[in-house]
Structure 1
Amino acid sequence: MGFRIEFGCADLARTTIAREPDPLWEVLLGMHMVQTDDEPDLFGAWRLRTRARLTALERELMVLAQPVGYSPDFLTPAESADGLDAGLAAVAATPPERLAAELSILAEQVRLPNWTRRLAAGDPDVLAKLCHGLKHFHRTNIAPLMPVINAMISRDVKVHSDTVTTGGFESLAGTLHPVLQWQPPYLHVDMGHIDRELDLDGRGLRLVPSYFCWRHPIMPADPSLPPVLVYPVQHDPAWAEPIEQYADPERAVADLLGRTRAAVLRTISAGACSTSELAARAGISLASASEHARVLHRTGLVTTRRAGGAVRHTISPIGSHLLSGAYH
């Protein structure tokens, strides 16, 4: 029993580790997490906040993101590796035949509401609503955590990159997650409820660290899709937010600045960045990032300096002081 991934020589050469989280995988796995009670010490505060502010549309979309079993692959297209907007564009362009096929698999697991029939037919209005809900969930519930997520993933990637450098892929497989075991030419993923084999066939494997992935790694169900293995990063319990304090400080900053602008300020606090980097990290448009950075600069919370042909945004002492209440 288990999931076996078969590697050839070309696959080993083409296997990579993503250096940033995949936004739509984080959305899907975040939706999984909000529907469970797993790991309350690490995710409890986030889960309480998220459940309290879910919109009606986001609640509707939860039916597509079952925490146990199958979730449609069209929710996590390969294009999401290039950013949230690229991923959402790919979701919106999903062919109707693929939507229908994947929703029929989901229907074997859960009773689907009537609106999913229009989704299965490729109704552009329903697809637009789906993308809006996914984007809103990311902006509201994922983007505010990006400084922590990016820091954890950067640390994780450095450790695993060093492992590959010194010990090769054989050493890496054993350190990514306890359920992974390398027995050439197979990478064994010990998940008792799955028994199948995937031949990479020269495509390589993209390893994607994830903040919200939990228990075991996860892959797309369709073997014809670009091979991706999403695995949990090592969480630092010291960064966990106490449940009894989950709302007050962060909401105070959000009430003062607005949720999106507060998220932008927190993103800049994680490290100096250009406007395009800010947009990518916060999961917002370039125009929105530019406008929020401009307002934060005018209020003295952010310093903005030109470096060559670009500008760099850095949190100011006043901005750091404002945020300190949200983390200490």
Structure 2
Amino acid sequence: MVFRVHFECADLARTTIAQEPDPLWEVLLGLHVLQTDYEPETFGTWRERARARLSALEQELLALAPPVGYSPDFLTPRAAGQGLEAGLAAVAATPPGQLRSELSRLSDSVRLPAWSRRLAAGENSVMTRLVQGLRSFHRTKIAPQMPMITPAIEATVAKHNGTVAGDGFESLIPQLHPTLRWEAPVLSVDLPHIDRDLYLNGRGLRLVPSFFCWRKYPMMLLDPALPPVLVYPVRHADRAEAVVRHADRDRAVADLLGKTRARVLKSISSGACSTSELAARAGISLASASEHARILHNTGLVTTHRIGSSVRHMLNPIGADVLTGART
């Protein structure tokens, strides 16, 4: 089966290569990986830890993201290319008609929970809970891996940028994925159970790299009216340990820093946060969070920026190395 993407001259000019993974595509594809046993050497340890720590909010997402077959397009809006929060805002603003149509399509292949009917009906509280679940999964399951995943993505994208600059778009296609074929003006994508044509009509195509795209083929949105995206897997066999955590790594960090400070450092690794947010994540007092963050900053594991009257704490590469053993 083949998904044929038809280009015009304007489409070639408007085709772009995303320089980093799309956060909501990584959430969706991470949810797919979580429900399979595919590539245990790459995803096995991450999957085991993620399954053990899946919150109730995050568990609800699994119903909308079956690992095989259709997943709703509204979970991965184009606005996510502008960052996680813009993407989540776009999810929350999904038109009611799109929600009903895509959830109805999904219900043809999987059994949906009762709350999905309230989501399809446009109930705000259900959409709010869905967005919270997406944010939580990214914060706890995807973001902690980015310090290891990002270098592999950056190396691949740099190579692709150079190919396009030096040899043109046609030479890029075989680098992206072996299932892609270019016979001007058509890009053919071998996808199971899909035989259709997509006419770009001057919109161009956004090429998005993904670490969690585990399947043996790229991913595309089903709705032809949506901004065209092709998500392709990035594979680096020599970096298989990128999402593998050593079994005793948490204990080693705790032995080095002390249990509370190790917990604070791990909390910061979930994403940049204020001192009050850090205190809530780590389950400690505001004064204690402030003191631990100050020490981690002074020792070079955390970067702290002042914005107005508040500060933001962010894990830096040295802190990431301490948590992940990237230098070992």
Q: Provide TM-score, normalisation by structure 2.
A: 0.84
Q: Provide TM-score, normalisation by structure 1.
A: 0.84
TM-aligned CA deviation for residue 233 of structure 1: 0.9
2:284 is matched with none
Distance 2:139 2:236 in 1: 22
Matched-pair contact (CA < 8 Å) for 1:28–1:75: yes
The answer on 1:224 being equivalent to 2:228 is no
Deviations 1:23-59 (A, max 9, x none): 0000000000000010000110100000110112211
Deviations 1:211-255 (A, max 9, x none): 101221101110000000000012233442697x64431466485
Q: Which runs of 5+ in 2 are unaligned?
A: 280-288
Task: Provide closer, same or farther for how the CA distance between residues 297 and 96 of structure 1 changes in structure 2, counting only shifts above 3 A.
Answer: same
The answer on 1:152 being equivalent to 2:152 is yes
2:299 is matched with 301
TM-aligned CA deviation for residue 203 of structure 1: 0.2
Structural mapping, 1:1-328, within 5 Å: 1-214=1-214, 215-240=216-241, 246-250=246-250, 253=253, 256-257=260-261, 261-262=265-266, 264-265=268-269, 283-284=271-272, 296-299=293-296, 300-302=298-300, 315=316, 319=319, 322-323=322-323, 325=325, 328=328
Deviations 1:112-137 (A, max 9, x none): 11110100011111001101111111
Deviations 1:166-190 (A, max 9, x none): 2101100111000001111100111
Q: What count of residue pairs does the alignment treat as equivalent?
A: 309
Task: Give the counterpart letter for 2:227 in structure 1.
Answer: P
Matched-pair contact (CA < 8 Å) for 1:3–1:190: yes
Task: Provide closer, same or farther for how the CA distance between residues 242 and 224 of structure 1 changes in structure 2, counting only shifts above 3 A.
Answer: closer
2:286 is matched with none
Task: Provide closer, same or farther for how the CA distance between residues 185 and 242 of structure 1 changes in structure 2, counting only shifts above 3 A.
Answer: closer
Distance 2:71 2:321 in 1: 42
Distance 1:88 1:321 in 2: 29
Task: Provide closer, same or farther for how the CA distance between residues 286 and 2 of structure 1 changes in structure 2, counting only shifts above 3 A.
Answer: farther
Q: Which runs of 5+ in 1 are unaligned?
A: 266-281
Task: Give the counterpart letter for 2:69 in structure 1.
Answer: G
Distance 2:183 2:59 in 1: 42
Task: Provide closer, same or farther for how the CA distance between residues 313 and 118 of structure 1 changes in structure 2, counting only shifts above 3 A.
Answer: closer
Identical pairs, percent: 54
Task: Give the counterpart letter for 1:49 in structure 2.
Answer: R
Task: Give the counterpart letter for 2:299 in structure 1.
Answer: L
Distance 1:288 1:163 in 2: 46
Task: Provide closer, same or farther for how the CA distance between residues 167 and 45 of structure 1 changes in structure 2, counting only shifts above 3 A.
Answer: same
Matched-pair contact (CA < 8 Å) for 2:268–2:315: no
RMSD of Structure 2 on Structure 1 (CA): 3.2
Q: For structure 1, which segment, 41-50 or 232-241, has the greater mean C-alpha deviation from structure 2 after superposition?
A: 232-241
Task: Give the counterpart letter for 2:266 in structure 1.
Answer: A
